[in-house]
Amino acid sequence: GYTTAHVGKWHISGAAGFPTPIQQGFDFSYDEHHHYNDPELYDPNDPRIANFSGLFAQPKNRLTDAFDDPRFPLLEDERPYDSMVDLSQRWIAKVAKKDEPFFLNLCPNLVHGPVMTRDKKRLAHYCKKLGIPFPTDPGSISDPKTPGQHNPYYASMVDSADWIVGQIVKTLEATDDPRNPGHRLIDNSYVIVSADNGASQNLGNWRSLDKKLRREKVSDNAPLREGKGWAYEGGCRIPFIAMGPGIQAGSVNTETPINLIDLFPTFMAMAGLPHDGTLDLDGCNILPVLTGQSRAAEFHDGTERDMLYLHYPVLNGAFSTVQRDGWKLLKNTGIHMNKAPEIQLFNLNADLSESQNQAAQHPELTKQLLADLNRWLEQYDAGVPYNNGAYKKGNLPGQGLVPAVTGRGSNGDQLWATFETAGKAKVEEAFLLYTVNGDLRSSDEEWFRAPATLASGRVEALAVPGMTHGIFCLVDANNFLIYSEPVPTMQDIGLFRALAFALEDGYAYKPGLVALIQCAESAQRHADQAGIDTSALKPALQKARTTNAKPLDEALYAQVIRKLRAEIRTLKNVPEAKLDSLNYYPLAHEREILSK
């Protein structure tokens, strides 16, 4: 099989850092502390290699602190050292000595805001090229209203990203392939470069010397409309460059729509693996497209893909889209968050800038595409933004009919809340959000969903074993979201502060402990029946019972819950040990927090 590595940005873990790339199966990568797992390649005491973010490591000031940093010694052509490149190059050199194939997933943080650069020479170069004096103020350097590319910081970041790719290619070109004597690694390697979204065009990046934060032009996606965070082409049409065996150098394909979901089946084909019918894959193997054998993306059964779906249910540009034969329909699911029409239809073949909404001119096509999109959204239970029942202006359509919560409480592990019904919109959906780590020992708060039941004017749920806090979410007929108690905004509590401690009630600790005690008692019975040692579980269970009889003490309750969760998990082959709510984090992580 393949030896695998992930270096750089991961972006699919929760606040606690889990799951890590290693947990997802990569042989070489990092843990929740961002420490890579090969001591031959990684030294946590070396500030250069231990600089996790590489060239994207943010200085306090993008002028005075960006260029004379010992973590970035200058290399050839005054290029600053990059830890991600260094790790990747040395990993390739190590695995190339073995008689086995390898896969490297390198994800630099470049290019991303806040826009800055560690490369002073390139910054000076692009300032000169753009006719801009070398900056003396770290603040806005480019007029956000002026079209075109005129930000030398952004240009330098793109240059650095290009250099990173070039360094990997040079390593492949210079390294002998032990499995193919007389050849270099580049002769039998595929290199693919892409991005995750279109460029941001205007950002408030850095404060000026007068302490004011002014927006600056970062990039310009023209002729594409909008940029990052939008479903228009400027936000979702991205670069895709590939080189490797069978791919003709210089070939260009501008007619075949593809998606990053196509990468996995394509990688399987590159590795010589047959189609695996047990995998429910939405993507297509596009290797025949890359090699010029086909002009259409095809599913494994040979049928051409004629539709592409996108779903982006967050921020102001919340849209769902479908594309077919150059036609693109956008459904605005954030209707109160932006001024866009509810439905838009564009002909990308004739109007790549998406400037002419054709929905009124093509009603049948609009109806058909919208029906296809709605079926797809329903098939995958795709969430859309809720209306905010606590919206301060109070002027959203239907907001006056939002039912208010009239009470809440718990009895043992039973949670409940009551709400208005007379003269109010009907509550059509309810669920419980809960966290299992809302305690003072860890700020790695994450929230999960559990089922709830609705009766007339009442919602109920069972506390999840080991939960520390919970809150009911009710959704009325007008798609307004109502919480069982007031929930402060992110701006109110801060981006990285735990929500659990901002709740007045939150069904804190006791219901989750009661449910966990019941879970532990069941686990003990199963373990005893199977002849499994429960000597460590028993004192933890007794401590939990004693604690539950005492008044609520956050530090004590949190510690007891963590301890009992951990002891249940150590019972192998006991069904309770496999419960999701007990296994969101590695056992070693739980014990590390307990030891603090």
CB-side neighbour CA atoms (13 Å) of 298: 14
- Residue-level pLDDT at 499: 84
- Residue-level pLDDT at 13: 81
- Residue-level pLDDT at 443: 61
Supply the DSSP symbol for 550.
Answer: S
537 phi/psi in degrees, rounded to 5:
-70, -40
pLDDT at residue 277 greater than cutoff 90: no
- Residue-level pLDDT at 593: 79
- Residue-level pLDDT at 402: 96
Q: How confident is the model at residue 280 (pLDDT cuts 50, 70, 90)?
A: confident
Q: How confident is the model at residue 501 (pLDDT cuts 50, 70, 90)?
A: confident
Q: How confident is the model at residue 440 (pLDDT cuts 50, 70, 90)?
A: low
97 or 13, greater pLDDT: 97
374 or 205, greater pLDDT: 374
Verdict on whether the full-model pTM lies above 0.85: yes
DSSP string, 365-425: HHHHHHHHHHHHHHHTT---PPEETT-TT--STTGGGPPPEEEEEEETTEEEEEE--TTSP
Residues 415 and 460: their CA atoms lie apart, in Å, by 6
How would you class 387 by CB atoms within 10 Å of its CB: exposed for 0-12, middle for 13-18, buried for 19 or more? buried
592 or 241, greater pLDDT: 241
Per-residue pLDDT averaged across 66-89, rounded?
A: 97
Please state which architecture CATH assigns to domain 308-385.
Answer: 2-Layer Sandwich (3.30)
Nearest Cα neighbor of 91 from 10, 16, 29 is 29
pLDDT at residue 545 greater than cutoff 90: yes
Nearest Cα neighbor of 558 from 445, 428, 422 is 445
Residues paired with 5 in a beta bridge: 28, 104
- Residue-level pLDDT at 188: 95
Per-residue pLDDT averaged across 152-157, rounded?
A: 97
Mean of the per-residue pLDDT values of the chain: 94
Q: How confident is the model at residue 555 (pLDDT cuts 50, 70, 90)?
A: confident
- Residue-level pLDDT at 241: 97
DSSP string, 215-239: -EE----TTS---TT-SSHHHH---
Q: At what angle do helices 554-569 and 537-548 cross, to 10 degrees?
A: 150
Q: How confident is the model at residue 291 (pLDDT cuts 50, 70, 90)?
A: very high
Q: How confident is the model at residue 495 (pLDDT cuts 50, 70, 90)?
A: low
Per-residue pLDDT averaged across 340-367, rounded?
A: 97
Per-residue pLDDT averaged across 174-191, rounded?
A: 95
pLDDT at residue 212 greater than cutoff 70: yes
Residues 82 and 75: their CA atoms lie apart, in Å, by 10
Per-residue pLDDT averaged across 519-528, rounded?
A: 97
Q: How confident is the model at residue 441 (pLDDT cuts 50, 70, 90)?
A: low
The amino acid that residue 342 corresponds to is E
Least confident of 172-176, 230-234, 354-358, 485-489: 485-489
Least confident of 10-24, 180-194, 212-226, 477-491: 10-24
- Residue-level pLDDT at 11: 86
pLDDT at residue 52 greater than cutoff 80: yes
- Residue-level pLDDT at 439: 66
Q: 476 and 521 in contact (C-beta within 8 Å)?
A: no
Distances (CA, A) of 232 to 228, 301, 436: 9, 31, 38
Per-residue pLDDT averaged across 89-116, rounded?
A: 94
- Residue-level pLDDT at 442: 62
Per-residue pLDDT averaged across 356-382, rounded?
A: 97
Per-residue pLDDT averaged across 353-365, rounded?
A: 98
530-543: per-residue pLDDT in tens? 999 999 999 999 99
Per-residue pLDDT averaged across 436-457, rounded?
A: 83
